[in-house]
Amino acid sequence: MNKTVNPNDLKPAGDVGPLYAARKKVYPQSVSGTFRRIKWTLMAICLGVYYFLPFIRWNRGLGAPSQAVLIDLPNSRFYFFFIELWPQEVYYFTGLLIVAAVALFLMNSIGGRIWCGYLCPQTVWTDLFYAVERLVEGDRRERMKKDASTDPMKLERISEIVLKHSIWIMIAWWTGGAWVLYFNDAPTLVKELVTFQAPMIAYIWIGILTTTTYLLAGYMREQVCTYMCPWPRIQAALTDEWALNVTYRYDRGEKRTSVKKAAELRALGQQVGDCVDCYQCVAVCPTGIDIRNGPQMECIQCGLCIDACDNVMTKIGRPKRLIGYDNDINIHRRQEGKAPIYRIVRARTIVYSAIIAAVGGFMVYTLATRSLLDVNVLHDRNPVAVKLSDGSIRNAYTVRLLNKSGYDRVIAIDADGPVNSTIHVVGVDSVTPDRPMIVIPRDSTSELRLLVTAPADNNPEKSIPVHFHVTDIGLGVVASATDNFVSP
């Protein structure tokens, strides 16, 4: 498509010259249509979940937090409905991140930047801020006119600006406010916040998120996607020829001209495209680009240009989807008179789906089968074995018991070490000889010093395995660990 241009024909445009340029403000026009409706719906869902999730209650019994989703930093616990995670189970988050990353790749291989266009917080909040701007200051033309006006500001204009920023800051403040609710009991914290009794850190975080939301959604907007976000670059490298992207279908002909001229040219039997050069796709674009120039890094593929173009095509009686989710393969096929083909199911999407299913399945399996009672055993290193006065051999172990359930457990410890060996827990006088019993409080760990003694007449060989069984004597749940019994 590139053709050689004679440099002498070119006049330096306005932006030629400086190495640094001011942002050109974008004034997206309102639009209605399928994709706009999808975006409104997703925005309502995303913001609804974000703002109200901390208020959902979940009964975990006495002494445990009753918030459905809670990151309890002081006690190092993460609660998600019926799931409670400990710091050592952080690998579930790793799994979640793997699933999230591959899901992003899958979206990309099916429909391009679905994440960017519909789900990314930057897009959602910017969209909301634009909606506020439109409501207060009017649509594209009005806003452009007001910004360009050099007349002294009247009270009406000043109040408009004040109102817009007030609403923005309120939304931003609520964004920060919802954030801190994930880290503390929401109703309690709200009460504390309004009575100015909440911890300083809560106010600081609200301040940080209010500022970032206000700046990123109110001012930075598409520049976050263009200059700050790495995903556009990664996405461009990950995409393939079958992925559907928001595309201007140049197979619908060139050249682009007005409806009237096009009719005249068609009457003369000349080639004319469906595009009537109305610039509606440019006017509605939140990143201020022209989709007809082909795929661009700035394009977040929100689909609003599709709605704008469809509205125009309907009015002038041409087929819809001059701009649509499509790819170059189909454009070429149509140019050759062949039917388009869509390959949603192909090696790439199958592999991505398989990875998501495998990692997700593994996570669900481990989560469903994980034990809420666990035991870790660490053999003493120095000395590894002790000879007692009667010639018997004793090994000492540090035993850590984990009770992840919401109730206290009474457990008994058994060890099948050397023949006739006895076990003893330091500091525990058990009523059952050789079977120490201990209470582990709910949602906690206990560290014990455990001694295994083998009688003198039956000293084991150099090293034999010892299996430790921890039994919840009430519920019969067993956790096990294996270590070695060593002779000096």
Please report whether residue 236 would count as binding other proteins according to CB under 8 A.
no
Give least dist CB 3 to other proteins, A: 8
Annotate each residue in 441-470 with x if it binds other proteins (CB under 8 A) or - if it does not, as one string: -----xx-x-x----x--------------
Give least dist CB 173 to other proteins, A: 23
Please report whether residue 390 would count as binding other proteins according to CB under 8 A.
yes
Please report whether residue 268 would count as binding other proteins according to CB under 8 A.
no
Please report whether residue 389 would count as binding other proteins according to CB under 8 A.
yes
Task: Output 53 or 386, the one with its CB closest to other proteins.
Answer: 386
- Contacts with other proteins in 326-385 (CB under 8 A)? 380-383
Give least dist CB 396 to other proteins, A: 5
Please report whether residue 387 would count as binding other proteins according to CB under 8 A.
yes
The window from 18-26, 37-45, 94-102, 195-203 that contacts other proteins (CB under 8 A) reads 18-26
3-class DSSP assignment, residue 269: coil
Give least dist CB 180 to other proteins, A: 27
From the list 1, 10, 148, 431, which residue makes contact with other proteins (rule: CB under 8 A)? 10
CA 45 to CA 298: how far, in whole Å?
26
Please report whether residue 23 would count as binding other proteins according to CB under 8 A.
yes
One-character DSSP codes across 94-148: HHHHHHHHHHHHHHHHHHSSHIIIII-HHHHHHHHHHHHHHHHH-SHHHHHHHHH
Give least dist CB 224 to other proteins, A: 11
Give least dist CB 459 to other proteins, A: 11
From the list 354, 357, 388, 473, which residue makes contact with other proteins (rule: CB under 8 A)? 388
407 HSE (CA, 13 A, CB side): 7
CA 488 to CA 481: how far, in whole Å?
23
Instruction: Work out whether strand 386-387 and strand 409-416 pair parallel, antiparallel, or are unpaired.
Output: unpaired
Query: Residues 91-100: contacts with CB within 8 Å, 24+ apart?
Result: 92/363, 92/366, 92/367, 95/359, 95/360, 95/362, 95/363, 96/363, 98/355, 98/359, 99/356, 99/359, 99/360, 99/363
- Contacts with other proteins in 160-199 (CB under 8 A)? none
Give least dist CB 172 to other proteins, A: 19
Please report whether residue 18 would count as binding other proteins according to CB under 8 A.
yes
433 preceded by cis ω (within 30°)?
Answer: no
The window from 19-27, 97-105, 253-261, 315-323 that contacts other proteins (CB under 8 A) reads 19-27
Please report whether residue 434 would count as binding other proteins according to CB under 8 A.
no
CA 116 to CA 123: how far, in whole Å?
7
Annotate each residue in 411-430 with x if it binds other proteins (CB under 8 A) or - if it does not, as one string: ---------------xx---
Give least dist CB 401 to other proteins, A: 12
From the list 110, 206, 217, 396, which residue makes contact with other proteins (rule: CB under 8 A)? 396
From the list 17, 152, 269, 433, which residue makes contact with other proteins (rule: CB under 8 A)? 17
CA 168 to CA 213: how far, in whole Å?
9
Nearest residue to 280 via CA among 244, 254, 316: 316
Please report whether residue 230 would count as binding other proteins according to CB under 8 A.
no
| CA distance to 126, 380, 407, per residue, from 386 (Å) | 69, 10, 37
The window from 141-149, 160-168, 205-213, 387-395 that contacts other proteins (CB under 8 A) reads 387-395
Cα-Cα-Cα-Cα dihedral sign, residues 147, 152, 156, 161: positive
- Which contiguous run of DSSP H or E holds residue 416? strand 409-416
Query: Residues 27-30: contacts with CB within 8 Å, 24+ apart?
Result: 27/140, 27/143, 27/144, 27/147, 28/130, 28/140, 28/283, 28/284, 28/285, 28/286, 28/288, 28/304, 29/139, 29/140, 29/141, 29/280, 29/283, 29/284, 29/308, 30/134, 30/139, 30/140, 30/284
Give least dist CB 382 to other proteins, A: 3
Task: Output 9 or 336, the one with its CB closest to other proteins.
Answer: 9
Positions touching other proteins (CB under 8 A) are 2, 4-7, 10, 12, 15-23, 223, 227, 380-383, 386-391, 394, 396, 426-427, 446-447, 449, 451, 456
